[in-house]
Amino acid sequence: MALAHEFAWSVSRHGNFAECRRRFYFDYYQSWLGWEAGGDPDRRRAYLLKKMTRMPMHAGDCLHRALERWFQARAAGEDQDLEELQGFGLSELRLAWRQSRDESEAWARRPKGRVRLAEHHYQEKVVEEASGQAAEYGGRYRDRLLEGLRFFIEAPELELVRTCPPSDWLACEEMGTIELFGTKIYAVPDFAFRDPEGGVHIYDWKSGAAREADRFQLALYALYAEQVWEVDPTEVNCVDVYLPRAELVSQRFSAEELEAVLGEIHGSISAMRALHFDASLGLGEPSQFAPIPADAPEARACSRCNYRELCDRS
C-alpha cells in the first residue's frame, strides 16, 4: 500500500519552518517519493540531499545510539562499562566517516543504512585530509562523543538514571505521537521513568550547546506525558543533559507556561497548514515557500544547509 503524505507536526519541523520555509519545502514536499526507482529526478535529488547529514548531527546520533545500546543491555540484565560504550560509539563514528568519504556512489544508489556527510558532498575545507583539517575536525567530534559518554557513566547526577530498574522505564528512544488541535504530533523522549513515589522524569540527551528550542521541546514532552502517561504536566521533571559539557538543566513548567506553549504550537500548525498540499499529487508551488534572502544576516544558515545547491548557494 502506498504511503500517504499526511500533515503532522514536531518541534524539529517547527524549527525548520521558522528558519527557512524553502528548506521545509525540500524536506517534506519535493523529497516525497524520491526513494522510488525511476521516479521524478527532482524528487530524487531532493531526497538524496535530505538523507545527508553533517558531522555535528551524526556525532550526536552516534552518542544517542551508544546510549540506546547501553539501555538495551541494561534491560537484558547486562552492564556495559565505559570502555565498551566508548568503543561502540567511536566505531560508529569512524565507519560513517569512511562511508561518506569512500562510498558516495553506493550511497547515491541506496542511501538507506549508509552515511553521507554534507561536508564531503560540498568538498568543504574542514574535510581536507592532506592539510590536516580533517583530522582536527573529526577529532573535535570524537572528543565530544567520548566525553559525553564518560559523563553518562561517571556523573553522580545521573546515578538515578543508571540504576533505575527497567520495570520503571516509560520510554527509551521510542517515537511516540499525541494529538493536539486535530494534528498528529511526533515526540521522541530519549529516556523517561516513573520513580517509586509515582513522579515522572524525562531526560533528553544533548550533544551540543544549549538553545532556546531545548526548553520548548521539554515543554512538549510534559504535554506528551500528560496524554500518554496520564500525569499532571506541571509535575513532570524534565531534564536537558548536555553530555559533552557535563551540564544538567532541570525544568518544570507552570500551567501558564504550558498554555503559552500550546498557543505557539497552535500558531505554528496553522501557518504550516496554510501552505500544506498533498505532495503525492504534485510538487505544488515552491514560491509559496520563500527561501532566506541571500543578503539577509540569517543567510549564514545556508552554509550548513544540505540543499544549498538547489538554491544556487553552494
- Give CA–CA dist 74/227, Å, rounded: 27
- Give CA–CA dist 43/38, Å, rounded: 11
Count CB neighbours of 196 within 10 A: 7
The string of pLDDT tens digits covering residues 155-179 is 999 999 999 999 999 999 989 999 9
pTM value surpassing 0.85: yes
The string of pLDDT tens digits covering residues 94-114 is 999 999 999 999 999 999 999
What integer pLDDT is reported at residue 1 of this predicted model? 59
Examine the pLDDT at 313 and tell me if it is beyond 90. no
* Cell numbers found for residue 306: 544540505
The string of pLDDT tens digits covering residues 17-32 is 999 999 999 999 999 9
Angle made by CA atoms 181, 186, 189, in degrees to the nearest 5: 125
The string of pLDDT tens digits covering residues 209-235 is 999 899 999 999 999 999 999 999 999
- Give CA–CA dist 180/183, Å, rounded: 5
Which domains occur in the chain, in start order? Answer: 20-158+292-311 (no CATH), 159-252 (3.40.1350)
Element of type H or E holding 240: strand 237-242
* Cell numbers found for residue 111: 542511501
Q: Of 236, 184, 271, 261, nearest to 6 (Cα)?
A: 184
Q: Is 203 helix (H, G, I), strand (E, B) or coil?
A: strand
The string of pLDDT tens digits covering residues 83-97 is 999 999 999 999 999
Count CB neighbours of 28 within 10 A: 20
